[in-house]
Amino acid sequence: MRRLSRLLRRLGGEDFVDLGRLWLNARHLSRYRPNLLRVVAEQEAIMRDALTAVIEDGVRAGDFTTDDALGACAVILVAIDGLGSYANDDTRFTHPALDTLLFTTAERELGLEPGRLRDGG
């Protein structure tokens, strides 16, 4: 659980705004560049496999409850990408719901009580 909490904290933090910009722009440009499309797909698969493994480990340890680790992973990654879609905004839209979106999404998908991941697991 701590691994997932740390990952979500990093990906939702200010330190990853530049990475979010890079990822957002790479995904956009990959539509026009076959080699970039291949690399983006490879990186997506690596992230999907790694996050799914973290979720499966958590299920085995009794920390998480889900019958579909890959499905939970997909929902969490969509939340990450959704927040990342704001990375190129000069004036960033903020709202308290967005501050905790990654955590509330993961907690819901993994059968955790609200705040559990936010509090570090």
Kindly report, residue by residue over 112-121, the tens digit of the pLDDT: 999 999 887 6
Inside any domain, residue 67: yes
C-alpha gyration radius of the chain: 15
Write down the pLDDT at residue 121. Answer: 62
Q: How many residues are given for the chain? A: 121
Inside any domain, residue 115: no
Write down the pLDDT at residue 94. Answer: 77
Inside any domain, residue 121: no
Contact present, 102 and 76 (Cβ < 8 Å): yes
Query: Total structural domains in the chain?
Result: 1
Alpha carbon of 97 to those of 29, 46, 52, 61, 101: distances in Å? 30, 28, 25, 29, 6
Helix (H) or strand (E) holding 49: helix 34-60
pLDDT, tens digit (0-9, with 9 covering 90-100), for 22-79: 888 999 999 999 999 999 999 999 999 999 999 999 999 999 999 999 999 999 999 9
